[in-house]
Protein backbone atom coordinates (compact mmCIF):
# COMPACT_ATOMS: atom_id res chain seq x y z
CA UNK A 1 0.00 0.00 0.00
CA UNK A 2 1.33 3.44 -0.96
CA UNK A 3 2.07 5.74 1.97
CA UNK A 4 0.19 9.07 2.06
CA UNK A 5 2.02 12.05 0.62
CA UNK A 6 3.51 14.52 3.09
CA UNK A 7 2.79 18.02 1.81
CA UNK A 8 3.76 21.45 3.18
CA UNK A 9 2.17 24.61 1.80
CA UNK A 10 3.48 28.08 2.61
CA UNK A 11 1.04 30.98 2.81
CA UNK A 12 -1.81 28.52 3.30
CA UNK A 13 -3.84 30.37 5.90
CA UNK A 14 -6.22 31.62 3.21
CA UNK A 15 -6.81 31.96 -0.53
CA UNK A 16 -4.95 29.80 -3.01
CA UNK A 17 -2.71 28.29 -0.36
CA UNK A 18 -5.62 27.13 1.77
CA UNK A 19 -7.38 25.67 -1.29
CA UNK A 20 -4.21 23.75 -2.19
CA UNK A 21 -3.78 22.45 1.36
CA UNK A 22 -7.45 21.47 1.55
CA UNK A 23 -7.35 19.60 -1.76
CA UNK A 24 -4.30 17.58 -0.72
CA UNK A 25 -5.96 16.78 2.61
CA UNK A 26 -9.11 15.65 0.81
CA UNK A 27 -6.99 13.25 -1.21
CA UNK A 28 -5.45 11.67 1.86
CA UNK A 29 -2.18 13.57 2.20
CA UNK A 30 -0.60 14.48 5.51
CA UNK A 31 -0.65 18.25 5.23
CA UNK A 32 1.33 20.94 7.00
CA UNK A 33 -0.23 24.39 6.88
CA UNK A 34 2.15 27.33 7.19
CA UNK A 35 1.44 31.05 7.31
CA UNK A 36 3.08 34.16 8.74
CA UNK A 37 -0.12 34.85 10.71
CA UNK A 38 -0.06 32.26 13.50
CA UNK A 39 -3.75 32.54 14.38
CA UNK A 40 -4.84 32.24 10.74
CA UNK A 41 -2.44 29.32 10.31
CA UNK A 42 -3.97 27.44 13.23
CA UNK A 43 -7.55 28.10 12.08
CA UNK A 44 -6.77 26.76 8.60
CA UNK A 45 -5.02 23.71 10.01
CA UNK A 46 -7.91 22.95 12.35
CA UNK A 47 -10.37 23.28 9.46
CA UNK A 48 -8.69 20.64 7.32
CA UNK A 49 -7.14 18.46 10.03
CA UNK A 50 -3.53 19.45 9.35
CA UNK A 51 -0.44 20.36 11.36
CA UNK A 52 0.06 24.11 11.81
CA UNK A 53 3.60 25.50 11.56
CA UNK A 54 3.62 29.30 11.45
CA UNK A 55 6.58 30.66 9.49
CA UNK A 56 7.83 33.86 7.90
CA UNK A 57 9.28 32.75 4.58
CA UNK A 58 11.66 35.74 4.48
CA UNK A 59 13.54 34.17 7.42
CA UNK A 60 15.83 31.28 6.46
CA UNK A 61 15.77 29.80 9.96
CA UNK A 62 11.97 29.68 9.99
CA UNK A 63 11.94 27.98 6.58
CA UNK A 64 14.35 25.36 7.90
CA UNK A 65 12.18 24.91 11.00
CA UNK A 66 9.09 24.41 8.82
CA UNK A 67 10.82 21.54 7.04
CA UNK A 68 12.28 20.13 10.27
CA UNK A 69 8.91 20.11 12.04
CA UNK A 70 7.28 18.50 9.02
CA UNK A 71 9.86 15.72 9.00
CA UNK A 72 9.66 15.31 12.79
CA UNK A 73 5.90 14.85 12.55
CA UNK A 74 5.67 12.75 9.39
CA UNK A 75 9.11 11.29 8.68
CA UNK A 76 9.77 13.03 5.36
CA UNK A 77 8.62 15.81 3.02
CA UNK A 78 7.27 14.70 -0.34
CA UNK A 79 5.81 17.91 -1.75
CA UNK A 80 6.59 21.54 -0.95
CA UNK A 81 4.23 24.16 -2.38
CA UNK A 82 5.96 27.56 -2.26
CA UNK A 83 2.84 29.71 -2.33
CA UNK A 84 3.39 32.58 0.13
CA UNK A 85 3.08 35.93 -1.59
CA UNK A 86 1.86 39.51 -1.33
CA UNK A 87 0.49 42.11 -3.75
CA UNK A 88 0.54 45.90 -3.94
CA UNK A 89 -0.64 48.45 -6.50
CA UNK A 90 1.37 51.65 -6.66
CA UNK A 91 2.27 53.92 -9.60
CA UNK A 92 5.76 53.28 -10.94
CA UNK A 93 7.20 56.69 -10.04
CA UNK A 94 5.72 56.56 -6.54
CA UNK A 95 7.32 53.25 -5.63
CA UNK A 96 9.87 53.46 -2.85
CA UNK A 97 12.80 51.20 -2.13
CA UNK A 98 10.93 49.80 0.86
CA UNK A 99 8.02 48.74 -1.41
CA UNK A 100 10.44 46.95 -3.71
CA UNK A 101 12.30 45.28 -0.87
CA UNK A 102 9.12 44.00 0.80
CA UNK A 103 7.65 42.64 -2.44
CA UNK A 104 10.82 40.90 -3.61
CA UNK A 105 11.53 39.82 -0.05
CA UNK A 106 8.33 37.83 0.31
CA UNK A 107 7.63 36.75 -3.26
CA UNK A 108 11.13 36.02 -4.56
CA UNK A 109 13.41 35.60 -1.54
CA UNK A 110 10.68 33.78 0.39
CA UNK A 111 10.15 31.38 -2.48
CA UNK A 112 13.91 30.78 -2.71
CA UNK A 113 14.36 30.12 1.02
CA UNK A 114 11.42 27.73 1.33
CA UNK A 115 12.38 25.96 -1.90
CA UNK A 116 15.99 25.64 -0.77
CA UNK A 117 15.04 24.25 2.65
CA UNK A 118 12.74 21.70 1.02
CA UNK A 119 15.35 20.73 -1.54
CA UNK A 120 17.99 20.03 1.10
CA UNK A 121 15.65 17.64 2.88
CA UNK A 122 14.30 15.92 -0.22
CA UNK A 123 17.71 15.22 -1.73
CA UNK A 124 18.72 13.12 1.27
CA UNK A 125 15.56 11.02 1.52
CA UNK A 126 14.48 7.89 -0.32
CA UNK A 127 12.48 8.18 -3.55
CA UNK A 128 8.69 8.36 -3.39
CA UNK A 129 8.75 4.86 -4.95
CA UNK A 130 11.07 2.85 -7.17
CA UNK A 131 11.91 4.88 -10.26
CA UNK A 132 10.24 8.03 -8.92
CA UNK A 133 11.73 11.34 -7.71
CA UNK A 134 12.71 11.88 -4.08
CA UNK A 135 10.32 14.79 -3.85
CA UNK A 136 8.46 17.47 -5.75
CA UNK A 137 8.51 21.24 -5.40
CA UNK A 138 5.75 23.46 -6.79
CA UNK A 139 6.10 27.23 -6.92
CA UNK A 140 3.18 29.60 -7.35
CA UNK A 141 4.09 32.28 -9.86
CA UNK A 142 1.56 34.25 -11.95
CA UNK A 143 0.73 35.12 -15.52
CA UNK A 144 1.81 38.60 -14.34
CA UNK A 145 5.38 37.30 -14.45
CA UNK A 146 5.06 36.84 -18.18
CA UNK A 147 4.63 39.46 -20.92
CA UNK A 148 1.79 41.93 -21.20
CA UNK A 149 -0.63 42.59 -18.28
CA UNK A 150 -2.08 45.73 -19.84
CA UNK A 151 -2.41 49.04 -17.99
CA UNK A 152 -2.17 47.42 -14.56
CA UNK A 153 1.50 46.68 -15.32
CA UNK A 154 2.26 50.35 -14.64
CA UNK A 155 1.19 49.97 -11.02
CA UNK A 156 2.57 46.47 -10.35
CA UNK A 157 6.18 46.57 -11.61
CA UNK A 158 7.59 45.15 -8.39
CA UNK A 159 4.96 42.40 -8.22
CA UNK A 160 5.53 41.43 -11.85
CA UNK A 161 9.30 41.43 -11.34
CA UNK A 162 8.92 39.19 -8.29
CA UNK A 163 6.84 36.65 -10.18
CA UNK A 164 9.23 36.69 -13.14
CA UNK A 165 11.94 35.91 -10.60
CA UNK A 166 9.92 32.92 -9.35
CA UNK A 167 9.74 31.56 -12.90
CA UNK A 168 13.50 31.91 -13.34
CA UNK A 169 14.18 30.43 -9.92
CA UNK A 170 11.98 27.44 -10.74
CA UNK A 171 14.02 26.69 -13.84
CA UNK A 172 17.33 27.04 -11.99
CA UNK A 173 16.16 24.72 -9.22
CA UNK A 174 14.85 22.19 -11.73
CA UNK A 175 18.33 21.97 -13.27
CA UNK A 176 20.11 21.96 -9.90
CA UNK A 177 17.97 19.15 -8.45
CA UNK A 178 17.48 16.94 -11.52
CA UNK A 179 17.04 14.01 -11.80
CA UNK A 180 16.25 13.54 -8.11
CA UNK A 181 13.52 16.19 -7.68
CA UNK A 182 11.04 17.89 -9.96
CA UNK A 183 10.40 21.63 -9.70
CA UNK A 184 7.53 23.23 -11.60
CA UNK A 185 5.66 26.54 -11.44
CA UNK A 186 1.95 27.26 -11.61
CA UNK A 187 0.88 30.58 -13.14
CA UNK A 188 -2.65 31.52 -12.03
CA UNK A 189 -4.68 34.24 -13.71
CA UNK A 190 -7.65 36.16 -12.29
CA UNK A 191 -8.38 34.26 -9.09
CA UNK A 192 -11.50 35.21 -7.14
CA UNK A 193 -9.72 35.81 -3.83
CA UNK A 194 -8.87 38.38 -1.17
CA UNK A 195 -5.86 39.44 -3.24
CA UNK A 196 -7.96 40.26 -6.30
CA UNK A 197 -10.59 42.01 -4.20
CA UNK A 198 -7.79 44.26 -3.00
CA UNK A 199 -6.58 44.84 -6.56
CA UNK A 200 -10.11 45.76 -7.65
CA UNK A 201 -10.43 48.22 -4.78
CA UNK A 202 -7.02 49.86 -5.29
CA UNK A 203 -7.22 50.07 -9.10
CA UNK A 204 -10.75 51.38 -8.83
CA UNK A 205 -9.55 54.14 -6.52
CA UNK A 206 -6.82 55.09 -8.99
CA UNK A 207 -9.20 55.09 -11.97
CA UNK A 208 -12.37 56.39 -10.36
CA UNK A 209 -14.23 53.09 -10.74
CA UNK A 210 -16.85 51.72 -8.39
CA UNK A 211 -16.35 48.57 -6.35
CA UNK A 212 -16.30 45.50 -8.59
CA UNK A 213 -16.19 47.41 -11.88
CA UNK A 214 -12.57 46.65 -12.70
CA UNK A 215 -13.03 43.00 -11.72
CA UNK A 216 -16.01 42.66 -14.03
CA UNK A 217 -14.06 44.28 -16.87
CA UNK A 218 -11.17 41.88 -16.40
CA UNK A 219 -13.14 38.64 -16.12
CA UNK A 220 -15.19 39.55 -19.21
CA UNK A 221 -12.10 38.71 -21.28
CA UNK A 222 -11.64 35.16 -19.93
CA UNK A 223 -12.32 32.65 -22.74
CA UNK A 224 -13.66 30.04 -20.29
CA UNK A 225 -16.39 32.48 -19.31
CA UNK A 226 -15.95 32.58 -15.54
CA UNK A 227 -13.54 33.90 -12.92
CA UNK A 228 -10.89 31.52 -11.70
CA UNK A 229 -11.36 29.82 -8.34
CA UNK A 230 -8.55 28.86 -5.93
CA UNK A 231 -9.56 25.24 -6.45
CA UNK A 232 -8.52 25.49 -10.11
CA UNK A 233 -4.96 26.06 -8.90
CA UNK A 234 -5.27 23.34 -6.28
CA UNK A 235 -6.27 20.75 -8.87
CA UNK A 236 -3.19 21.49 -10.96
CA UNK A 237 -0.98 21.28 -7.86
CA UNK A 238 -2.26 17.79 -7.07
CA UNK A 239 -1.61 16.76 -10.67
CA UNK A 240 1.98 17.97 -10.44
CA UNK A 241 2.39 15.90 -7.27
CA UNK A 242 1.11 12.74 -8.96
CA UNK A 243 3.21 10.03 -10.67
CA UNK A 244 1.75 11.04 -14.04
CA UNK A 245 3.86 14.24 -13.96
CA UNK A 246 7.15 12.62 -12.89
CA UNK A 247 8.81 13.46 -16.23
CA UNK A 248 7.87 17.16 -16.02
CA UNK A 249 10.36 19.59 -14.52
CA UNK A 250 11.30 23.23 -15.06
CA UNK A 251 7.87 24.00 -16.51
CA UNK A 252 5.67 27.04 -15.88
CA UNK A 253 2.05 26.13 -16.49
CA UNK A 254 -0.70 28.68 -16.99
CA UNK A 255 -4.02 27.90 -15.36
CA UNK A 256 -6.01 31.00 -16.26
CA UNK A 257 -9.07 30.03 -18.30
CA UNK A 258 -7.29 30.85 -21.55
CA UNK A 259 -6.25 34.44 -20.81
CA UNK A 260 -2.69 33.73 -21.90
CA UNK A 261 -2.11 30.99 -24.45
CA UNK A 262 1.41 29.78 -25.15
* pLDDT value of residue 149: 65
Closest CA to 58 of 77, 88, 39, 82: 82
137-175 pLDDT, tens digit each:
999 999 999 976 677 899 999 999 999 999 999 999 999
pLDDT tier at 201, thresholds 50, 70, 90: confident
Query: Phi/psi class of residue 258: alpha, beta or left (left: φ > 0; alpha: ψ in -120 to 50)?
Result: left
CATH fold for domain 6-191+228-255: Rossmann fold (3.40.50)
pLDDT tier at 203, thresholds 50, 70, 90: confident
57-84 pLDDT, tens digit each:
999 999 999 999 999 999 999 999 999 9
11-51 pLDDT, tens digit each:
999 999 999 999 999 999 999 999 999 999 999 999 999 99
Compute the average pLDDT of residues 214-235: 91
Task: State the chain's mean pLDDT as an integer.
Answer: 94
pLDDT tier at 104, thresholds 50, 70, 90: very high
Residue 254 confidence (pLDDT) above 90: yes
CA 217 to each of CA 204, 221, 223: distance values in angstroms, whole numbers, following the listed order:
11, 7, 13
Compute the average pLDDT of residues 200-207: 76
pLDDT tier at 179, thresholds 50, 70, 90: very high
The proportion of the chain whose per-residue pLDDT surpasses 90, expressed as a percent, equals: 82
Give the residue numbers marked as catalytic.
Answer: 159
Q: Where are the domains of the chain?
A: 6-191+228-255
* pLDDT value of residue 140: 98
* pLDDT value of residue 211: 82
Compute the average pLDDT of residues 238-256: 97
8 neighbors 67 (Cβ within 8 angstroms): yes
Compute the average pLDDT of residues 96-109: 98
Residue 248 confidence (pLDDT) above 80: yes
* pLDDT value of residue 238: 98
Residue 251 confidence (pLDDT) above 80: yes
The proportion of the chain whose per-residue pLDDT surpasses 70, expressed as a percent, equals: 99
Compute the average pLDDT of residues 127-143: 97
As a whole number of angstroms, the distance between CA 18 and CA 237 comes to 12
* pLDDT value of residue 243: 98
Residue 245 confidence (pLDDT) above 80: yes
Return the C-alpha torsion angle 179, 2, 84, 68, nearest 10: -80
17 neighbors 11 (Cβ within 8 angstroms): yes
Amino acid sequence: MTAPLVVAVTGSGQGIGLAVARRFAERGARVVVSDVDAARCQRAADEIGALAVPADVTDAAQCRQLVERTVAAHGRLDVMVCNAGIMQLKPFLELEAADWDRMLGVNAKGCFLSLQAAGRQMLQQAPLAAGRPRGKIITIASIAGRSGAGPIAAVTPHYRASKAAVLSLTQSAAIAFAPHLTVNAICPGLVESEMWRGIDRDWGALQGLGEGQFWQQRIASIPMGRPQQPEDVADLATMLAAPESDYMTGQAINVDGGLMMN
